[in-house]
Structure 1
Amino acid sequence: MIIAAGCSTKAPGSDKASDGDSNGKKDDKVKIGLSISTLNNPFFVSLKDGAQKAADAEEAELVVVDAQNDSAKQVSDVEDLIQRGIDVLLINPADSSAVSAAIESANKENIPVITVDRSAEGGEVVAHIASDNVAGGQMAGELILEQLGNKGKVVELEGIPGSSAARERGEGFHKAVDEVSDIEVVAKQAADFDRSKGLSVMENILQANKDIQAIFAHNDEMALGAIEALEAAGIKDVIVVGFDATDDAVKAVEDKKMAATVAQKPEEIGQKSVETALKVNAGDKVDEFIPVDLELVK
């Protein structure tokens, strides 16, 4: 990911009417495009809602498109947003590598780009707004170590291969567990951040590994799917840790079906994304990385 230091590549007001036209376009709302990887996930719905609330509060126009976890569709969606005359692009990559083409399209039109929740491997972006996924993965790993007494068999359910969230959450988890000799990660498989895939992948893993003690899932949807697989197999007392603190996951923690979930604040991520977009559009300097705090719900 290449980050343009400080401020927008787009001259503030470059597509507005000249100063001499007091009734011209310069009083129009700022138009912000938001390309989301998928709206078939409660986390991203909350992120969108936070962005919408911030846009409404600031009287900005927010145009949201859903890539449906399809990187080719996301590139096409961004082309459409560009044609619709957006001033700033917020993008939550479906794939951190494939999204580069979409970002480069915006770069060519001098539209500032801000990545949201997941980073990009190419193209020029002004800022990245996200939780610290590495720190979150490490928090999850350390909790599992604590509850297992540094000994046991663990399963890791990965998110979408190629997404920065999957890489970073896995990196943090392995920072915690790889140095402990009596912890064995007996299976590590992708379930694409999806509940139904979490269920089916976990069912397959359990056929060969019924004696596991813990599961770390890169998001709550996969964790909840894994819990269904455990219940169907009649396996109890497995420590399950998820990531995102969605409503369903928090309830599962309260019901003692899950040990914990790493709480991101998706509404706050969405809110900060719009606020940052408006600053960039106004020509203000912004930080290259704008973090949103994490906490462990257990």
Structure 2
Amino acid sequence: MTISRRDVLIASAAAAAASLAARMALAELPKLAKKDTYKVGFAQTESNNPWRIAQTNSMQGEAEKRGWQLVYTDAAGSAAKQVADVNSMIAQGVELIFLAPREEKPLIPAIMAAKAAGIPVILLDRNVDQTLATAGEDYVCFIGSDFVEEGRRIAEWMVANANGKSKIIQLEGTTGSSPANDRKKGFDDFIAGNGAFTLLASQTGDFNRDKGRQVAETLLQAHPDADIIYAHNDEMAIGAISALEAAGKKPGTDVMVLSIDGGREIVQLIIDGKVNAVCECNPRFGPKAFDTAVAYANGEAIPAKIINPDNFYTIENAAAELPNAY
């Protein structure tokens, strides 16, 4: 059988069209059918602190309220396990996945696997590397706080209320996570070029209370003249308070203590005079997360980022706001 040049051209054109169609299909977000109830997944990063517990309770409570089946997993602080958790949800046939990615890059394969399986993903609290995955194309959207703004707000308050304090120790969150990256950027950018302040040291405490205490102890020994501690979350700030007290220093007085998250324990510590200011990071995701899923199923346009409103706590409002803290 002789194959003509025309046949080759036709076959090539058909293959190119099929390849283009496949790429276009892959570029599109998976759809979500319009229904009364859904089987959805929530891949939590960890449950070792009050913020994560509050977020999980909000998600589980909202699912129960709406009568949705929620497949819940806890990655216990492991990005590898969280990827496996998402793959398990895919195998269980969930219709949508709510994902709180532990780190920006390692969770990309999980998002792409869900997309390939036709399951839309909504990111909660932490984002992923925008050069590797795109909202509206690879996942529906990100819902959470503006972490850069949180760091900036803390720095702005510090500059206005330092009263001569100027030497800073920064306790960073989990390396590679979007809140750690952004809370550092917001803070560092605001004080950049301000000669009145010196960042003596900046080291990860992994968003963990005991590790935050250990790192603070080490850094305070290396920098005994530090008079400001900025922690990326409450857990590390509370750990730092223990380290300060063990060193014979009065937290909140000798050393200014600044934090982000705004749990009830740390708001009480503001009232007690051991913490100076806290920017809230709202953990109550349930209503907004599930409303967004419904809106997506209804065909509504979903913004790439949906920002939660965050409170700000100081001695001026801590007592009045304590009942509202998580």
Q: TM-score, normalised by structure 2?
A: 0.82
Residue aligning to 1:155: 169
- Which amino acid counterpart does residue 12 of structure 1 have in structure 2? L
8 A contact 1:150–1:180 mirrored in 2: no
Which portions of structure 1, spanning 4 or more consecutive aligned residues, are displaced by more than 6 angstroms?
none
Aligned-pair CA distance for 1:40: 0.9
Question: Where does residue 49 of structure 2 map in the other structure?
Answer: 41
Judging changes above 3 Å, is the alpha-carbon distance between structure 1 residues 150 and 176 closer, same or farther for their aligned structure 2 residues?
Answer: farther
Which residue of 2 is the match for residue 286 of structure 1?
A: 302
Matched, 1:12 2:32: yes
Which whole-Å CA distance do the structure 1 matches of 2:239 and 2:101 have between them? Answer: 23
Unaligned runs of 5+ in 2: 1-27, 315-326
The reply to whether residue 239 of structure 1 matches residue 259 of structure 2 is no
1:197-276 to structure 2, matched below 5 A, reads 197-236=211-250, 237-267=254-284, 269-276=285-292
Aligned residues: 278
Preserved CA contact (<8 Å) 1:31 1:86 = yes
**1:252 alignment partner AA:** L
Residues of 2 paired with 1:90 and 1:291: CA distance? 16
Q: For 1:275, give the aligned amino acid.
A: D
TM-score (structure 1 length as normaliser): 0.89
Q: Distance in 2 between matches of 1:151 and 1:49?
A: 39
Per-residue CA shift, 1:90-132, capped at 9, x if unaligned? 1111111101011111011111111111101133111100111
- The SS at the match of 1:243 is strand
Per the TM alignment, residue 295 of structure 1 is displaced from its structure 2 partner at its CA by 2.0
Task: Give the SS at the match of 1:145.
Answer: helix
1:255 maps to amino acid: D
- Partner Cα distance (2:32, 2:207) in 1: 38
By relative contact order (CA 8 Å, sep 6+), the higher-ranking structure is 1
1:252, 1:162 → 2: CA distance?
Answer: 29
The answer (yes or no) to whether the contact 2:101–2:128 under 8 Å persists in 1 is: yes
Separation (CA, whole Å) in 1 of partners of 2:103 and 2:273: 33
Listed one character per residue, the Cα deviations across residues 158-213 of structure 1 (whole Å, up to 9, x for unaligned) are 00010000011111101221121120000100000000000000010011111111
Distance in 2 between residues matched to 1:205 and 1:12, nearest whole Å: 50
Matches within 5 A, 1:1-298: 9-13=29-33, 29-121=37-129, 122-123=132-133, 124-149=138-163, 152-236=166-250, 237-267=254-284, 269-298=285-314
Whether the 8 Å CA contact 1:30–1:278 is kept in 2: the answer is: no
What is the distance in 1 between the residues matched to 2:243 and 2:99? 33
State the 1:151 CA deviation. 5.3
3-state SS of 2:87 partner: helix
Which structure 1 segments of 5+ residues have no match?
1-7, 15-25
Letter in 2 for 1:284: E
Largest Rg, 1 or 2 = 2
Assess if the C-alpha contact under 8 Å between 1:32 and 1:277 holds in 2.
no
Partner SS, residue 89 of structure 1: strand
- State the percentage of identical aligned residues: 35
Deviation at residue 249 of structure 1 after TM alignment:
0.9
Please, what is the CA RMSD of the aligned residues? Answer: 1.6
> Residues 165 and 228 of structure 2 are in contact (CA less than 8 Å); yes or no, is this contact kept in structure 1?
no
What is the alpha-carbon distance in structure 2 between the residues aligned to residue 244 and residue 265 of structure 1?
7
